[in-house]
Amino acid sequence: MPKVHPNVPSSSPAAVERAAVAAAGEEEEATSLTVWRKSLLFNCRGFTVFDARGDLAYRVDTYDDAEGEVVLMDPAGRPAFTVRRKRLSLSGEQWLIFAGGEEEARRPVYAVKRGGGGKSMARVAPCAGGGAAPFEVEGSYGRRRCVVYDGERRAVAEVQPKEAVGTDVFRLVVQPGVDVSLAMAVVVALDQMFGRPSLLRSWSL
C-alpha cells in the first residue's frame, strides 16, 4: 500500500500554522488534502488528514463508546468543528456543525441533511440566517466522487478517489476562499450519513 502518512509526527508549530493558513482560505491555489479514514490512536475510529507536504492537518479520534458527536481537531488537538447528530421526529435525522469544541458548541453554523431535490445527495444549509444560499452536494460519497456547489453553482470542494488505495484513502480538494476546516467538517458529516461502518457506536434511529 502506498505511504499514506509521510510525516505523521508533524504537529510542530510550523505544521499547525500551515493548517491555520489553509483553514483561513488564504492560499491562492486550491488546497489538496489526503484523507485517511483511520485514527492513529489505539482503540479509536476516525480520520487522519494530511496536507500536500505530508504534514498532519486534521484528525478525528472517536472512541468505541462514543455516540452522537464527532470532533474535528487541528494537529495540536484543538477542536475546529463539532459535528453532532440530531434526530428529527418525522424526517429522519440531520447533522449539525458547530464551530469549536463542546464548550463553544451552543449554536450550530450549518445543518447537513440528505437529499435536496434533483441530483443533490445532501444539502448544507447555514443556520445563522441572513439569506445565505445552501451548498448542494452531488455525486456519490460511497465511491468518493462528489462535489460541493455553492449557491451560484460553483464547485467549491470535491471529494476524489486516490489511485489504487481503495475508499479508505481519498482526496479533498478545496477551492481558494473556502474555509478548509468547514469543508472537512462537511466530509465528516457525509461520512456519518453515507459511510459504513459509522464512527459512532449508535447508528439506528
pLDDT (mean) for 84-106: 79
Rg (CA), the chain: 16
Task: Say if residue 178's pLDDT is above 80.
Answer: yes
pLDDT at 131: 65
Q: For residues 117 and 163, what is the distance between their CA atoms, to the nearest angstrom? A: 31
Q: Are 181 and 21 in contact (CB under 8 A)?
A: no
Average pLDDT over residues 157-161: 97
- pLDDT at 102 (0 to 100): 66
- What pLDDT does 104 receive? 61
> Is the pLDDT confidence value at 12 over 50?
no
Q: What are phi and psi of 37, to 5 degrees?
A: -80, 70
Q: What whole-number distance in Å separates Cα of residue 193 and Cα of residue 191?
A: 5
CA distances from residue 68 to 34, 99, 134, 174, 188 in whole angstroms, order as listed: 25, 16, 24, 27, 13
Q: Which domains does the chain have, with CATH numbers?
A: 13-194 (2.40.160.200)
Reported as a single tens digit per residue, the pLDDT across 101-136 is 766 657 899 999 998 777 899 999 998 766 678 999
Q: Which residues have a Cβ under 8 Å from the Cβ of 19 and sit 6 or more positions away?
A: 51, 55, 56, 57, 58, 74, 75
Where helices occur in the chain by DSSP H, the ranges are 13-23, 180-194
Predicted local confidence at residue 106, as pLDDT = 73
153 Cβ contact partners less than 8 Å away, ≥ 6 residues apart: none
Reply yes or no on whether the pLDDT at 64 is more than 70: no
Residue 97 bridge partners (DSSP)? 83, 110
Sign, CA dihedral 126-145-184-98, equals positive
Q: Could you read off the pLDDT of 32-61 as tens digits, one per residue?
A: 999 999 998 888 889 999 999 999 999 999
On average, the pLDDT of the chain sits at 82
